């Protein structure tokens, strides 16, 4: 049984195999489908896709996006799943079936590690801001002394600027907190 409650059944593919060589399968087709969807839809889809679609023409962007998704993206996704299922190996080792493409698995692993570190740092910053928002007074609503005298409280509805301040140098407390 996996940590998230999903159950894998062990079946023997060939007579005489040792228990280490037994293959595991999904106990339910829906569990497999949902795990594939969970692996396909990540932070980048939720975070960057609306901006990318807006910058590239809005609804008109969706037509070429969906075409490329079904002509290129999904076939390669299924190819990788089928190769992994057929070879019973990791993405690094399965590409050794074609010696000319042996580096593809290592490139995939390097890309996933790079994306993983990027997303982990982004999610940790998000968690810090989320935890800060649970305080009774938001930490970015008022200026701290170390932010200097050009700071203006974000929590005030009316702001008075000192005559010695240059209006171009004034920054809100929220802007200084998040930078």
Domain ranges (residues) in the chain: 1-40, 145-178
Whether the pLDDT of residue 110 is over 90: the answer is yes
Mean pLDDT of 44-62: 85
Contact 77, 91 (CB under 8 A): no
| 144 marked as binding residue | no
1-5, 103-107, 167-171: which is most confident: 103-107
Q: Pick left, alpha or beta for residue 12 (phi over 0 → left; psi -120 to 50 → alpha; otherwise beta).
A: beta
Residue 143 burial class via C-beta count within 10 angstroms: exposed 0-12, middle 13-18, buried 19 and up: buried
| pLDDT at site 107 | 92
Mean pLDDT of 30-42: 80
Mean pLDDT of 100-127: 88
| pLDDT at site 113 | 92
Give the phi and the psi of residue 171 in degrees, each rounded to 5.
-130, 145
Q: How far is CA 62 from CA 37, 39, 52, 53, 81, in A?
A: 19, 21, 10, 7, 26
CA quadruple 53, 58, 63, 68: dihedral, nearest 10: -10
More confident residue, 65 or 84: 65
Mean pLDDT of 166-171: 70
């Amino acid at each position: 049984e996996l940590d998230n409650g999903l159950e894998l059944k062990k079946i023997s593919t060939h007579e005489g195999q040792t228990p280490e060589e037994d293959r595991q399968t999904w106990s339910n087709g829906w569990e497999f489908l949902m795990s594939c969807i969970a692996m396909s839809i990540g932070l980048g889809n939720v975070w960057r896709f609306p901006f990318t679609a807006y910058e590239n023409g809005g609804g008109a962007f969706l037509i070429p996006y969906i075409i490329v998704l079904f002509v290129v993206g999904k076939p390669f996704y299924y190819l990788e799943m089928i190769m992994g299922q057929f070879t019973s190996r990791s993405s690094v080792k399965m590409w050794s079936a074609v010696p000319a493409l042996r580096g593809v698995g290592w490139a995939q692993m390097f890309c996933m590690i790079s994306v993983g570190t990027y997303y982990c740092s982004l999610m940790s910053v998000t968690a810090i801001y989320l935890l800060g928002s649970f305080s009774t007074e938001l930490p970015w609503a008022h200026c701290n002394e170390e932010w200097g005298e050009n700071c203006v409280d974000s929590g005030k509805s009316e702001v008075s600027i000192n005559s010695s301040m240059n209006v171009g140098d004034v920054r809100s407390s929220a802007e200084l907190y998040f930078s």
